Amino acid sequence: MNTSINSDRLDEYIDQVSYEITHCLNCQPRDSGEWIWVLGIRTYLQDLLNDLDIPEPYHEAVTKGLTCPHCGTNIELESDVGIKTDYESYIDFKWKEWYQKYQDKFEEFFYFIKKYPYLGLQHKLGKQIFEKVPELPKIIIEKETWFRARKVNGSKLLRTEDLYPADPEKVEIGEGRYNHFGQNVFYLAKDDYGAAVELLDESGLVWLQKFNLIKSDKIIDLSHEISEEPNAELDLLSFGLRYSKVLERRVKRSAGWKPEYFIPRFIADCAKLYGYSGVKFNSSRSCSLNLVLFSWESEGIQPIETPYIYKFEKN
């Protein structure tokens, strides 16, 4: 290595350039043998190095430390690369801002609410969340098919009424991510796999019932599709609640105590106090989207045909 090159500074420059690169020529599709550049903003690497104020004596050494983050190809100095769009750079900045401002606060809140499960409003972040709930994204769900699952119990045949939420006066209702022990709520999943994976850790059989959600309004939307680009217009707290995994902590099904549910349940309590009828959220066990209804009208959600056996294959 050139003795005039500082190794620590070189590593910093490599990290700086790598942060900007998203794709290379090999990532791009071809049409009749011709490369069609569609992934990342096409940029000459030397121009990128100059734009980032990388000293010229470091250009060759920096390039030797670069690989395409998408396909792993070694990048050459005399080549084009795909770099982040302004939107992607802004989202990266927003994530950095979220981690700096809220990551530690959510950890503190988590340990606080573990110790005092019913005193969330006594914590500064709990107060912020409570005041933010009315401003969270909201949707109306109309004419959508959702799924609900129950475990197969021997030869017992389940009827449609068995797939509705149970009466807490007659059946013990356990705690869930968005309900306290004994509270009657309606959990649904957007697809059959998503409904089954909420019950089973391994491949097996479940009863499934399809429901037509005719209309449910005042739903807080904390969900996002895996391929969805984050909504940069959300305020920082709403952004993190929707796109980070602070509400998706995995729980051990057999555990007698599930503090991972405490922050989502705090939000559910706030939502109900403000008059909302449910929350749409991401599953912590699959890529499926889930829905919990705190209240519903019988005419607003109707069964589709009868329950059927579904063979669940663990991915």
pLDDT at 2: 55
C-alpha angle with apex 80: 78 to 84, nearest 5 degrees?
Answer: 140
Average pLDDT, integer, range 126-154: 96
pLDDT at 208: 98
**Mind listing the pLDDT tens digit for each residue in 217-263?**
899 999 999 888 899 999 999 999 999 999 999 999 888 899 999 99
State the pLDDT at residue 179.
97
Q: Can you give the pTM of this predicted structure?
A: 0.85
Give me the pLDDT at residue 298, please. 81
Would you state the pLDDT for residue 90?
A: 92
Q: What is the mean pLDDT of residues 45-55?
A: 95
The full set of domain ranges for the chain reads: 7-84, 118-312
Residue-level pLDDT at 174: 92
Supply the mean pLDDT for the chain: 94
pLDDT confidence of residue 160 = 96
Per-residue model confidence (pLDDT) at position 269: 98
